[in-house]
Amino acid sequence: MNGLQQNQTMVYSSRYTRFVCPRTMQVSQYRFGLSTPATGDDQVDVGVYDAAGNRLTSSGATSGKVNTTPSSIVSVSFAPVTLVQGTIYYMGFGYNTPVGTACTLACTAIPWYEGATFSQAFGNAYSYLPQSASVFPLPAVGSLAGGGNNFPIGALQ
């Protein structure tokens, strides 16, 4: 199965990506790639959810992150949380309604022709990149059902 990287214009939504923590660690920020800055001071919200969709931590609506230098790495901090090795979590990324032209971020993309392969491999209940339109800031309980696409490529630290 292939994965693609593409630049995606962000709009008013919340997106989630599933991951299994490789080792026990404390994290307090998410770093992601900004391709093209927003023309206004748009807000983002990043957070970590448990496997049931309960928010463990979040930055809250944060300004001044996506209208900076093009082709840069952006850091958004949140209250520290300890992740346990081998446990399933979801990284949440929310974007508000753009003030002007929305930013574009480096994002993952699963080609349409591989969605069926993905479902066959992991089952239709597997939520690989769920998203919720028109949800900002990140909710206390994330909507982790269904599949989506285009989650910002980044790293927890």
CATH number at residue 109: 2.60.120
Q: What is the pLDDT of residues 126-144, one digit of tens each?
A: 455 666 666 889 999 987 7
The DSSP result for 65-110, as a single string, is: SSSS-SSEEEEEEEEEEEEPTT-EEEEEEEE---SSSPPEEEEEE-
Omega prior to 137 cis, within 30 of 0: yes
Q: What is the pLDDT of residues 2-43, one digit of tens each?
A: 344 566 677 777 888 888 999 999 999 999 888 889 899 999
From CA 119, how far away is CA 148, in angstroms rounded?
Answer: 12
| Range(s) of the domain holding residue 31 | 4-156
* Number of independent structural domains in the chain: 1
Report which of residues 152 and 87 the model is more confident about.
Answer: 87
From CA 136, how far away is CA 33, in angstroms rounded?
Answer: 20
Burial of 115 (0-12, 13-18, 19+ CB in 10 A): middle
